Amino acid sequence: MDVTTDSGAPWLIAGLGNPGPEYAGNRHNVGFMVADLLAERMGGRFKRHGKAQAQVVEGRVGPPGPGSRRVVLVKPMSYMNLSGGPVTALRDFYKVPAERVVAVHDELDIDFGVLRLKLGGGDNGHNGLKSMTKAMGPDYHRVRCGIGRPPGRMQVADFVLKDFSSVERKELDWFVDRAADAVECLVSEGLERAQSAYNS
C-alpha cells in the first residue's frame, strides 16, 4: 500500500497486554507501555469504547498537515489470550483494512531491547497473536519487542508475567520510546522504511 495516499481509513494500533495494576510492569505488557506512550505523545487519554471490551484513543501521528495519519490506539481489556475479539470489533467499527492493523507485543525469541517489524506470519506461541490471527487472519503488521528467553528452567508463563528485571528497567524507557518511534514510522512512512530504520 502506498502510504503517501490516505484512503481515509485510520490505522488501528493494538498494544497487547493484560489489564489491571498487578500486570502493569510485566514483560507481557510492553505493548500496553508503548500504547500509553503513543497516547501521551498524541495528547490523548484512553477511554472505554462502547462497542468493544477495550480502551481507545483517537488521534494523529506524523508531521502536521497532509503527511499525518489518523490512528486509533487500542488496549484490549479482555486479557491477552482473548485480544482478538476486541481488536476485531474495533477493526470492523472503524472499517480498517487488515494491512492497517498493527499489533505491538512482547517477543521471546528476540533479545531484550531489540525490535523487529513485519507483516503477517505465525504467532510463535504468543497467545495475543494467536487470538488475533484466529479472529482476523494473519495479514496484519507486528511490532515485535524483544524480551529474551527465560533463564534456567523458568517456565515461559512465569517469565512473561514477571516484571522486567532491575537491569532491564534501566533500559526500558529507551526501549519503549524506540518502539513508539517505530510504530509512528511504520504508519507515516511504510513498512520498508520502518524496518530499515528500526530492525536490529
Q: Give the pLDDT confidence of 153-166 residue by residue, as tens digits.
A: 999 999 999 999 99
pLDDT band at 6 (very low <50, low <70, confident <90, very high): low
Catalytic positions, please? 28
Contact 96, 88 (CB under 8 A): no
Considering only CA atoms, give the Rg of the chain.
16
Predicted local confidence at residue 119, as pLDDT: 98
Q: How far apart are CA 116 and CA 134, in angstroms?
A: 22
Tell me the pLDDT tens digit for each residue of 47-96: 999 889 999 999 998 777 777 899 999 999 999 999 999 999 999 999 99
Amino acid at residue number 19: P
Calculate the CA dihedral of residues 73, 71, 189, 2 and round it to 10 degrees.
130
Predicted local confidence at residue 84, as pLDDT: 97
Contact 30, 161 (CB under 8 A): no
Question: Is pLDDT above 70 for 4?
Answer: no
